[in-house]
Amino acid sequence: MPKVIIVGAGLVGALNACYFSQLGWDTEVYEYRSDVRELEENSGRVINLTLAGRGRKALEGVGLKDEVVRHGLEITHRLVHYVDETTKAHPIARPGEYLLCIGRRKLNTICLDHAEKFPNVKLFFKHKAQKVDPIDGTVTLTKLETQEKVEVSADLILACDGAFSAIRRSLLYYPRFDYSQTFLEDGYIELRIPEKNGKYAWDPNLAHFFPRGNILLVVFANTESKTFNVTLFAPYTKFEQLDTERKQTSFFKETFPDAFRLLGEENIIQAFKRTKPQPLVSVKCQPYTFNGKVVLMGDAAHAMYPFIGQGMNAGFEDCRLLNECLRQYDFDIAKALDVYSKARPKDAHAINDIALRNYHVLRNTIRGPYYVIRRIIDMKLHSILNSLWIPYPSMVLFSDIPYHKVVEKRIQQDSILFFGMTFIGLVIFAYCIQAIF
């Protein structure tokens, strides 16, 4: 059987291991960090994962969807918190559609455990990737415990080693490889709302949003305890202003009063002491495949801002689509990778742009009447036209419509509404003129 090397045992790498283990391929996974399953606390980011339709479909392909859903919380509504402590709930999408909130570590563990059940899968931790040779199909790594350099080879190499991928970096001088990364002027810090009397302090089945213009606070339930993970997004200039404990606590008290009471002053102070604001990066590149042997996947190919909740979902979709390409072309690796690489960047670039635009929606538009009115119109038209008019959030989150097609359909819908409203306005105007004269 062919052999595949997967660099990175995070979410996308682990799910790829599940797919290739079921194909019977000899599968070796190399990870820079320790085994996440053996850590007392995940050392990676804790920005909550929201598993949507694309991600669930990819998990279904390896028989893990039901297992994952069992460990998650269904989120059907977004609860917007205003400064005066009033709230308003908005549905995430159409009735029956929901996001699944689940811990990163738990999901990673489920995928790794499943892959490791197969005898053709080998997992290697504390192995740091250095470079890849797409001509020979080899990866050079360093064993961190001994500093020994090792070289491994395979028929197919999957780079799933994250936004700052070492494999991708070693390919930067490959002919005709386009690459760009963009950092937001905003960063984020993470806090945690403790449990209250052994229970969640708020409704765990809601996504809590606090839009404040150029500042956004997002709160999701932690599925591995009765706590809430809290993420504050703000310009770096704002974080620089919060340079004393008094300023930090005053900022939360004035800007997010209801969240402030649950967080508490000491919790806020310790969060600012514990970590500095973390950067937010978007990565675009193409092609994704090199010499018919190496393919970039997940964040290594298209890291995106976390404001549409599609980073993991798009990465999982990568796994499913690559598997489908391999099957479609009878496991001709070079042909399958060529087809995959020609199609996927267009969609990945589209979802990167969607994620950035949604940041502005979450910080501003979601508070205003336009957002509510547009949602009502979309739902009414959908009830009349069915699949001919699908609301934008549903297309992004719960369909498998290619992302670039989603953008095209959204533009078409905007144009139809603009001309429709213009026509109605002209009719009303003409009627009023006729009535006057």
For 269, other C-beta atoms within 10 Å of its C-beta total 15
Which carries the bigger pLDDT value, residue 90 or residue 370? Answer: 90
Domain match, 267 and 313 both: no
Domain that holds residue 207: 185-279
Domain match, 214 and 243 both: yes
Domain match, 29 and 128 both: yes
Query: What is the distance between the terminal CA atoms of the chain, rounded to a whole angstrom?
Result: 84
Helical H segments across 275-332, by residue range: 299-302, 311-328
Quick check: is 62 in a domain?
Answer: yes
- Decide if 18 contacts 64 (C-beta within 8 A): yes
Domain match, 201 and 52 both: no
Give yes or no for residue 190 having a pLDDT over 70. yes
Domain match, 169 and 189 both: no
Quick check: is 94 in a domain?
Answer: no
Quick check: is 83 in a domain?
Answer: no
Cα–Cα distance measured from residue 175 to residue 119, given in angstroms and rounded to the nearest whole number: 38
- % of the chain residues with pLDDT over 70: 97
How confident is residue 113, by pLDDT bands cut at 50, 70 and 90? very high
Count of domains forming the chain = 3
Number of H-type helices and E-type strands within the chain: 15, 19
Q: Name the nearest CA neighbour of 298 among 169, 165, 103, 179.
A: 165
| β 77-81/87-91 pair status | antiparallel
Of 249, 279, 309, which residue constitutes the final position of a domain?
279
Give yes or no for residue 437 having a pLDDT over 70. no
Which carries the bigger pLDDT value, residue 246 or residue 373? Answer: 246
Domain match, 213 and 304 both: no
- Amino acid symbol at 357: R
Domain match, 243 and 137 both: no
Of 234, 255, 279, which residue constitutes the final position of a domain?
279
Cα–Cα distance measured from residue 221 to residue 200, given in angstroms and rounded to the nearest whole number: 8
Residue 63, burial from CB neighbour count under 10 angstroms (0-12, 13-18, 19+): exposed
pLDDT at 95: 87
Average pLDDT, the chain: 93
Q: Supply the pTM of this predicted model.
A: 0.93
Dump pLDDT digits (tens) for 121-166: 999 999 999 999 999 999 999 999 999 999 999 999 999 999 999 9
Q: Name the nearest CA neighbour of 382 among 362, 403, 399.
A: 399
- Minimum mean pLDDT range among 154-158, 193-197, 406-410, 427-431: 427-431
Domain match, 268 and 304 both: no
Dump pLDDT digits (tens) for 335-348: 999 999 999 999 99
Sheet holding 73-75, edge to edge: 49-51, 99-102, 73-75
Quick check: is 96 in a domain?
Answer: no
- Decide if 316 contacts 301 (C-beta within 8 A): no
How confident is residue 116, by pLDDT bands cut at 50, 70 and 90? very high
Domain match, 235 and 340 both: no
Quick check: is 299 in a domain?
Answer: yes
Domain match, 286 and 148 both: yes
pLDDT at 43: 45
Question: What's the CATH number where 300 sits?
Answer: 3.50.50.60
Averaged pLDDT for residues 199-215: 94
Quick check: is 193 in a domain?
Answer: yes
Give yes or no for residue 202 having a pLDDT over 90. yes
Quick check: is 93 in a domain?
Answer: no
Of 318, 334, 359, which residue constitutes the final position of a domain?
359
Quick check: is 92 in a domain?
Answer: no
Domain match, 171 and 212 both: no
Domain match, 54 and 171 both: yes
Give yes or no for residue 183 having a pLDDT over 80. yes
